[in-house]
Structure 1
């Protein structure tokens, strides 16, 4: 299994020039994937601090980089019409010469919904909307001219065992979770079961996890539990790549 390293360059508490420098540094260091996130306000720190929108930023990153894959960790399905999102993703895919990953989830941050006028609904309704959107996105990609440059990888974030993991088994190329080794191991086994139900090989879905400690703490255990993509979150106003460098060294030793 090839190990990959991602960074989530969180678009909060920083000027855009600092965010752009961080993406450039990630690419220069050899990071495999640069993610942002899809929110309208900071998730921590000063709640009304500086913050930028996700998808316009991804279009800029597509032009500003040349090697690193890019995407959102994750897009909130509720904020855009599914067919529009498919077209946006196809466009960024072309701008980037085939480096986009479509990360998507059902949504959870109520302030975004309230302040931007979206119906927050319930976890059940948001998950039902996600299921419908995934099918619409895949159908729209088949109709677009020009078509995407590749089969755009879909990353689904979340750990719901009855619905989210089933949708992941049906549609995704990457599954992203947070938690420790035991959480990864248990939920990954459930995902394997859903893959059997959906008629897909479990090996078709890469396991991804967010990490906040040195790889010396749990890197080997996470790999043994099936993780292949490790993502480190970085926040503004400065973006410290110290931990990222440790994980890059771990990747290179493993690969």
Structure 2
């Protein structure tokens, strides 16, 4: 599938802006207050991440667990969609993940996004007693888990309130993008414009192989460190979900405010 086709397939989507509130280097009260501000600013989505230790700054600094935060966010918010960017498949049984996601979906009235990936942060695995394995074994387990999660969603009573959107992060061309083609509603990467154009061609080929229309998959990219020129190029390639990350202790919302104005200009 050509990049021109990819662009055409995405043009009917409105642009969305997510804010990733990294759950590190701040007390939970600050995280909670920041989420309230993010919702008041008019962001579309709030994300956290699924780790047990900070990824930047003091390695043993303040940090909180992802899924318990997400359940609290479900009650705290009324307009935002929300989820992890991304859940680590290795840390929880697949059927349990499905049930947790379904429960948070109901708590929030259908605003939960199941962002997920195969896992990569070795310290989490070592300190919490999970087998780290290899990228290949983690991806194979991830593929199997997604099948189990989808099957469990169909069995739960009550069912989810909606088809819970599945966001998959990663850009590996041999396995990850095949899994994206089979399972994802949203594909997230950290690609620059040149890389994204190439990856979209690979994803389009996988979609053709599994019998899926790539236009069903929303393209998502990180904004941290990007210029407006970069973002415009990513937009022109079909990206319609952009995320800006902020971190404790202060959670500077200035960049989010600027990017929200850019979003509004695109959707005008």
TM-score normalised over the length of structure 2 = 0.94
Residue 213 of structure 1: how far off its partner (Å):
3.9
What's the CA shift string for 1:133-165, capped at 9, x where partnerless? 000000000000000000000000000001000
Contact 1:158 1:177 in 2 (8 A): yes
Query: Is 1:21 the counterpart of 2:42 in the alignment?
Result: no
Contact 1:185 1:226 in 2 (8 A): no
Residue 215 of structure 1: how far off its partner (Å):
5.2
Aligned with 1:180 (options 181, 192, 197): 192
Residue 251 of structure 1: how far off its partner (Å):
1.0
Contact 2:84 2:115 in 1 (8 A): yes
Aligned with 1:9 (options 17, 21, 26): 21
Query: Is 1:154 the counterpart of 2:166 in the alignment?
Result: yes
Query: Is 1:130 the counterpart of 2:139 in the alignment?
Result: no
Aligned with 1:145 (options 157, 169, 185): 157
Contact 1:59 1:92 in 2 (8 A): yes
Aligned with 1:240 (options 240, 252, 256): 252
Aligned length: 255
Residue 226 of structure 1: how far off its partner (Å):
1.3
Residue 217 of structure 1: how far off its partner (Å):
3.0
Contact 1:5 1:229 in 2 (8 A): yes
Runs of 4+ in 1 over 6 A off after TM superposition: none
Residue 214 of structure 1: how far off its partner (Å):
5.8
Query: Is 1:107 the counterpart of 2:124 in the alignment?
Result: no
TM-score normalised over the length of structure 1 = 0.98
Alpha-carbon RMSD across the aligned residues, in angstroms, is 0.8
Query: Is 1:250 the counterpart of 2:262 in the alignment?
Result: yes
Residue 212 of structure 1: how far off its partner (Å):
1.6
Mapped partners of 1:214, 1:196: distance in 2: 31
Aligned with 2:230 (options 179, 197, 218): 218
Contact 1:209 1:227 in 2 (8 A): yes
1:32-43 map, 5 Å = 32-43=44-55
Aligned to 1:91: 103
Residue 179 of structure 1: how far off its partner (Å):
2.7
Distance verdict in 2 for CA 1:156–1:214, change over 3 Å: closer
Aligned to 1:207: 219
Mapped partners of 1:105, 1:210: distance in 2: 15
Aligned to 2:4: none
Contact 2:223 2:231 in 1 (8 A): no
Contact 2:18 2:43 in 1 (8 A): yes
Counterpart secondary structure, 1:42: coil
Query: Is 1:70 the counterpart of 2:82 in the alignment?
Result: yes
Residue 238 of structure 1: how far off its partner (Å):
0.9
Mean Cα displacement is larger for which, 220-229 or 74-83? Answer: 220-229
What's the CA shift string for 1:176-196, capped at 9, x where partnerless? 000311111111111111111
Mapped partners of 1:70, 1:177: distance in 2: 17
